[in-house]
Amino acid sequence: MATLSLKKLLKVFGSEVRAVDEIDLDIPHGELISLLGPSGCGKTTTLRLVAGFLEPDSGEIQMDNEVVSSGAAVVPPERRNMSMIFQSYAVWPHKTVYQNVAYGLKFREVSAHEADQKVKKMLDIVRMPNLGDRYPGELSGGQQQRVALARALVVEPGVLLLDEPLSNLDANLREEMRFEIRRLHDEFNITSLYVTHDQAEAMVTSDRICLMNHGKIEQVGTAMEIYDKPETRFVAEFVGVTNSIEGTSTSPGLFDAGGGLNFKMGNNGAGGAEGKHFVSIRPHRIGIHTEGTQIDGADGLNVLDGEVLRGYFLGNAADYLVKVPGLEEPLRVEGDPSNFFPTGSKVRLVIEPDSVIPVRASEG
């Protein structure tokens, strides 16, 4: 079993760049958590601090309640019982698949026979049982990444670190390997920290997602929590597509967007207190109808009339920009492609109050 805790972890580059800005994060045994965010948000620096490749300026990292990094001392990477999978695979081209996977066992107290059994079993698990004699140059990118996974897992680490492991693969292989990584995690139940900038990758592979921005943690939660209940504007806009509207909460459950336009809100969200903030409305949560359509129970809904500025038929959905009087920016709307509204159509939009999510300004 292995747990990981980051406490007030700080890393400063130069005199001013707080790459990791006093973050706190607890990862229980067996959880796979993704560090998600744009380039420069601090996710890779955090991973390198956990691995022991960088020293923190303050704060500490604990593994199984023992400090492995602090501003005063750092346990070397080779003594942390961690395995790391890199973006570039980092498999040795002059060694066979078998030799690559077996390499780490040289430094463990296992007999040659036991090591052989472990390697063969691991090649079965990653679905490469007959490729042990091949060299990396004879493998596809996906197969090389499977070798890297097998090499990292065969030594039975306490913590597995993954640094954008799928970014060098093409789109189809990336999708396949997302599910493979999740399958392997469910089989081995190793505490894992996974760095990615791909939101779909994070949502498929992770138990929880830690969304970072400018060295700070914006929100930690499951994929559903992050998507359906974003706490900040950054989270709402980074994960998926949304409409962000600035305004003021004038009373509980009512949001004044200016221009004489008010939205009814549900009770969910992080910015429900009165005062100036934003609301987030996902495009697929907006119903689009022909102008003048009578809406049942309209008194309890947000019913807006507008004009389609742009409409695209995408096969499985229709994507619109709809201009609504009183709003500075048009609303992004997703609708049923079987009932398509061309540009210039007059339409009526309907939004459930629970789909109007109040959010705070971003942390970073």
The model's pLDDT over 82-138, given as tens digits with 9 standing for 90+, comes to 999 988 778 889 999 999 999 989 888 889 999 999 999 999 998 899 999 999 999
* Positive or negative: CA dihedral 136, 139, 141, 147: negative
Alpha-carbon gap, residue 53 to 73, rounded angstroms:
13
The model's pLDDT over 264-296, given as tens digits with 9 standing for 90+, comes to 998 755 444 555 689 999 999 999 999 999 988
pLDDT at 19: 96
Q: Is the pLDDT of residue 353 over 80?
A: yes
Q: Cα 1 to chain center, whole Å?
A: 24
Q: Is the pLDDT of residue 343 over 50?
A: yes
Strands 159-163 and 191-196: parallel
Alpha-carbon gap, residue 150 to 155, rounded angstroms:
9
Name the strand (E) or helix (H) holding 200: helix 199-205
The model's pLDDT over 125-143, given as tens digits with 9 standing for 90+, comes to 988 999 999 999 999 888 9
Nearest of 64, 55, 169 to residue 149 by alpha carbon: 169
Q: Where are the domains of the chain?
A: 4-228, 233-359
Domains 4-228 and 233-359 share a fold: no
Say if CB 64 and CB 70 are below 8 A apart: no
Alpha-carbon gap, residue 364 to 62, rounded angstroms:
25
Q: Is the pLDDT of residue 36 over 60?
A: yes
Q: Is the pLDDT of residue 14 over 50?
A: yes
Superfamily of structural domain 4-228: P-loop containing nucleotide triphosphate hydrolases (3.40.50.300)
CA atoms within 13 A on the CB side of 283: 18
- Please give the class, per CATH, of domain 233-359: mainly beta
- Burial of 290 (C-beta count, 10 Å sphere; 0-12/13-18/19+): exposed
Q: Which residues contact 343 (CB under 8 A, 6 or more apart)?
A: 308, 309, 310, 311
